[in-house]
A and B are shown apart, each in its own frame.
Chain A
Amino acid sequence: MAWQIPLTELTIGEDDVAAVVQCLEEGWLTMGPRVDEFEQGVAAFCGTPHGAAVNCGTAALHLACRALGLGPGDEVIVPALTFVASVNAPRYVGATPVLCDTASPTDMNLSVESVEPQITDRTRAVIAVHFCGYPADVVGLRELCDSRGIMLIEDAAQGIGAVVSEDGRKAGSVGQAGCLSFFSKKQLFVGEGGMVLTSDEEIDKKVRLLRSHGMSASTWDRHRGYGYSYDVVDVGYNFRLDEPRAALGLSRLGKLQTGIEARRRTVKLYRELLADVPGVELTWSDEQVERSSHFAFPILLDDAEACDAVRTGLADRGIQTTRYPVIHGFSEYRRLAPMGSLPFSETAAARHCALPLSASTIETEVEQVVEAVKSVASTLAGARP
């Protein structure tokens, strides 16, 4: 079916197309000068000295776990409400994910208060997710982690450009490592791609080594005559980003901040129009809206049933929505926590519904979506005693 208003829409300009076409015409496709430039550009945008491009956000999290030396026996605290990759990453290195509740049903991020009781002798790291683009309190979490001698990884897959501190620091720049995703629905997209941000040169070196098979010289280096052979000094992977995607990313990077601002305007309009709708609860605060980079716009409905009704009602009107299931609701992760043990995450997961949001969303679309939500919500209210 063709959605009248899809969840996200990518608008790729002719200048973006031209940047990729030029790269394809030149014919050098594996990691080279464009990847270098893209890394420098993104790292500068996020305010970190280093950024190592990889082929997806999952790979970024995996390599962050490897570079921080996590392994078997280590516990890693992760939110119960996130995309599944945040929970898979510790397992790739043999560590154990421990699910943690979110701050509240309307603040769907980890907080100092939610994390602290989960820390045990075996805890080595916390993965804080900037869910839907809203900044988690990573400054507070970093202080907590430092005081307990553990590490902080920021999963900024949804949060590129979110402001995490009073002094304007960006998501991904506070933890020992920050992980970005450039998946096709993200604020900065290349199709599939990711990056590990860090201020620690050793972490950066390790990520660069492991993303290309632990090899001591790259194809590009050898093409230019640096080194004839190579050693494999660690067990690495093929997590390379290639040049066409870096070309697209570079071209899009110049439009990232404008795109985030456009998303914020859309979110503010949604919030204004939905503020007093019975049965609809807004998430996060106005202040956090100012700091968010707005990957998605979730609202809370009264309960799971209302949530389903709204999603169905909107789908009938050609409006696509989505929701994130809670991690321990998945077959693979039921064993991590019993249902009922992480109430805020479970409530948020059951009751939220993310409405269409893109950099190109226009006012009339927002109005159309809001009308649809209102219409379903009022029918629900009427059906109740």
Chain B
Amino acid sequence: MPATGTFPEIPLFDLRLAPEDIEAGAETLRSGWLTLGPRTQAFEEAFAAQLGARHAVAVSSCTAALHLAYLAAGVGPGDEVIVPSFTMAATASAVLYCGGTPVFADILGRHDLSIDPAKVEARIGPKTKAVCVVHFAGYPGKIAELRDLCDRHGLALIEDVAHAPSATVDGRKLGTWGMAGAFSFFSNKILSSGEGGLLATDDDAVAELARSLRSQAMTSGTWSRHTGATSTYDVVGLGFNYRIDEMHSALLLSRLARLEADIERRRELTRTYRRELGRIDGLIVPYRDEEVEYSSCYVFPVLVEDKDRWEHVRDFLRNERGIQTSLFYPAVHRFSAYVERRGEQSLPHTELASETELTIPMFPHMTAEQQERVVTAFEEALA
């Protein structure tokens, strides 16, 4: 089946924009102003307010946000950043962009796929500058412990919140616990616009640096020259073009209004999946029922108990039942590019998880019948 390139009957995600989102995008095009301007500012203000952060700096991707966060943490050549390997590669590659070295720490296990604070502590050395926690699938990592650990060692804590907008710990949203939080608006994300990202922070200096570096470290932008506020500019550092554009900001601002409702729907779907899939022998459903209400439930990960059966389950779902699954994630430390740089390393929990994980379809308009088909397919595959 893979060779034929057919579309799955039940896709992993299925983005549907509301008519008002599309109208907001169309209005922006008609306005004729497409680069950083009033819509981006409005989105940033709304996002910061909803998050409870002082600053929100919208950028072109979460990767860009991570890069800026590490730079703001002072990461440079010779510095190390402790990151999980059970993540999308950007968490680690953004460290390399700064000239630093990503040092991988293992996750807690197959019941909690987030970075293990004890393993983080064991990796702290004289070159460590920062720690990055990924709130996997929308479930909070051990943020309080990590915050404490980083404070004790004088390290910057960066949150990779790509999966977890609006998830909370003790009523406080993720992305506000560390020095900076990096959000993603990639097309398969909860709050999506195609490509996009955002850096949130309470630190004025971090926000200022991020704003400067996202637009070539120029002291004024096109919009401020258009409005007559400035007529020329200086370049005061090595910046980048990490700008988001106005159409994306307009889409995001429109969609932000429904973020909580969208997450609530994902929580319902998650509870159903947990109830139904939790009964199946040979399948591990990570996290606990009580954690669902604090999670943004971005995706639904399951792990096949016996790693030798993983391939069969995956193929059965796809080829026999038309159900798309994905692997979140192959272990970063095992990618060729990282083995070349860092050599072989052992992270047993990460390796086992990455050999047995399956992320299964979940999107707000998923029907009960579709969910049932997914559950039945697992029952059949593992029978």
Task: Give A contacts to B, CB under 8 Å.
Answer: 1, 3, 6-7, 9-12, 16-17, 20-21, 24-25, 27-30, 55-59, 84-85, 88, 91-92, 183-185, 189-192, 213-215, 219, 222-238, 240-245, 248, 311, 315, 320, 322-323, 325, 330-333
Contacts and interface: CB of A to CB of B under 8 A. Distances in A.
Contacts of B325: 228
8 contacts: A9-B32, A29-B192, A30-B194, A192-B34, A223-B7, A231-B330, A311-B231, A322-B225
Given A12-B30, A320-B228, 13 more contacts: A17-B26, A30-B194, A58-B240, A85-B216, A183-B35, A191-B35, A192-B35, A192-B60, A225-B318, A236-B93, A244-B25, A331-B234, A333-B235
A3 B246 CA distance: 20
B2 A225 contact: yes
Interface residues of B, number: 79
A245 B303 CA distance: 37
Contacts of B7: 223-225
A19 to B, nearest CB: 10
A88 B216 contact: yes
Q: Give 7 closest A-B pairs by Cβ, nearest first.
A: A191-B245, A242-B194, A29-B194, A232-B335, A184-B34, A330-B235, A58-B241
Contacts of A219: 187-188
B335 to A, nearest CB: 4
B217 A332 contact: yes
Contact of A55 (B8, B60, B247): B60
B338 interface: yes
A325 B6 contact: no
B118 interface: no
Contacts of A315: 228, 231
A228 B3 CA distance: 12
B297 interface: no
Nearest to B236: A331
B53 to A, nearest CB: 22
Given A17-B29, A219-B188, A232 B89 contact: yes
Given A84-B218, A242-B195, A233 B336 contact: yes
Contacts of B227: 1
Interface stretch (B9-17, B143-151, B163-171, B284-292): B9-17
Nearest to B2: A225
A238 B327 CA distance: 19
A346 to B, nearest CB: 15
B60 to A, nearest CB: 6
Interface in B223-248: 225-228, 231-241, 243-248
Contact of B93 (A12, A225, A233, A235): A235
